[in-house]
Amino acid sequence: AGTGAEGRGRPASESTLTIGLLLPEVLGTYGDTGNAWILRERARRRGIDARILTIDLDTPIPSSLDLYTMGGGEDTAQALAAEKFDREPGLRRAVEAGRPLLAICASLQVLGHWYRDARGQRVAGLGVLDVTTDPQGRRTIGELASDPLIEGLTERLTGFENHGGGTVLGPDAAPLGRVVAGTGNGVPQGAPAPEAPCDGVVQGPIIATYMHGPALARNPQLADLLLARAIGRDPASLAPLDVPGVPALRAERLRAGSGVRG
């Protein structure tokens, strides 16, 4: 993974939408890198010049990109990401500047105050999400579906989840969706189960979720919400896109997830 490798053939102009793909070598499980590709493609099909800037572990994180994506990871890999985010000001500054950011699974955990991994090791997070994560005492694996709770999303969200951590939200964090199948944020071992299980966290410019997939291939409305925020437009003003295969993929995954409770 070379920094900017994707952008090399196309010089970025002032008006190029730059999507920061953060640390795919440690935060890129289950196709999560694809979220950046989907954003770039959905922008280009609207005539918006877009490129992906890959930021690897050895590269400082720029704080002024238009949009950021970060994916899931194994416990050991995600600790390397947590260390880097703690050491460098870039990601914190980007969040403070209100840059939209999509965070999946391990990235959701790493953006919280802290998380405890499967071995019980407590790792400090960036603290930009008001959440903490503890082991659930089991892995929750399977299809996850939820009904969105935030403005701008109306379609059921679907993804694949595979995590040992259970995340508890504090008062500054809001959930992304109400779970209808699967587990979502889950419950730390020994904690009381919530009456209405939720998935994900929304706080400031961050949208975080346990959905892999990549989530944006399966949830185009979520992709367009992030794009619209990045370019400062109303999502309704983006030209509709007819991407063959997406409705069939959604229908198949929603069927696969129906009735499953991980």
> Shortest distance, CB of residue 244 to ligand GLN, whole angstroms?
29
198 tagged catalytic:
no
Query: Is residue 139 annotated as involved in ligand binding?
Result: yes
Give the residue carrying structure tokens 């951590």. 165
| CA angle, 49 then 53 then 58, to 5° | 170
**Distance from C-alpha of 92 to C-alpha of 41, rounded to nearest angstrom:** 27
State yes or no: cis peptide before 197, omega within 30 of 0.
no
76 contacts ligand GLN (rule: CB under 6 A): no
Residue 29 binds to ligand GLN (criterion: CB under 6 A):
yes
Question: By CB under 6 A, which span of 7-15, 71-79, 122-130, 152-160 interacts with ligand GLN?
Answer: 71-79
**Quick check: 184 binds ligand GLN (CB under 6 A)?**
no
Q: Is 75 in the site for ligand GLN (CB under 6 A)?
A: yes
Distance between CA atoms of 64 and 219, rounded to whole angstroms?
Answer: 26
Name which of 75 and 130 has its Cβ closer to ligand GLN: 75
Residue showing tokens 């994506």: 69
Nearest approach in angstroms of CB 158 to ligand GLN is 16
Q: Tell me which residue has its CB nearest to ligand GLN.
A: 72
Size of the site for ligand GLN (CB under 6 A): 12
Q: Is 163 in the site for ligand GLN (CB under 6 A)?
A: yes
Instruction: Tell me how far, at minimum, the Cβ of 19 lies from ligand GLN, in Å.
Output: 20
> How far apart are the C-alpha atoms of 177 and 200, rounded to whole Å?
7
Evaluate whether 208 touches 157 at the Cβ level (below 8 Å).
no
Catalytic pick among 105, 113, 163, 198: 105
Interface residue with ligand GLN among 90, 164, 184, 200 (CB under 6 A) is 164
Q: Is there binding between residue 74 and ligand GLN (CB under 6 A)? A: yes
Q: Which stretch binds ligand GLN (CB under 6 A): 4-12, 68-76, 195-203, 217-225?
A: 68-76
Tokens of 81: 């990401």
Contact 58, 30 (CB under 8 A): no
Name the minimum Å distance from CB 207 to ligand GLN. Answer: 16
> Tell me, what DSSP letter sits at residue 214?
-
Q: Please, which of residues 94-133 interact with ligand GLN by CB under 6 A?
A: 105-106
33: left (phi over 0), alpha (psi -120 to 50) or beta: alpha
- Nearest approach in angstroms of CB 167 to ligand GLN is 9
Complete edge-to-edge strand list for the sheet that includes strand 201-203: 50-55, 17-22, 67-70, 101-104, 206-209, 201-203
To the query of whether residue 212 is one of the catalytic residues in this protein, the response is yes
| 47 Cβ contact list (under 8 Å, min separation 6) | none
Q: Is residue 88 at the binding interface for ligand GLN, with CB under 6 A as the rule?
A: no
* Rounded-to-integer distance, Cα 135 and Cα 119, Å: 9
Annotated binding-site ranges for substrate:
139
Binding site for ligand GLN (CB under 6 A): 29, 72-75, 78, 105-106, 162-165
The residues annotated as belonging to the active site are 105, 212
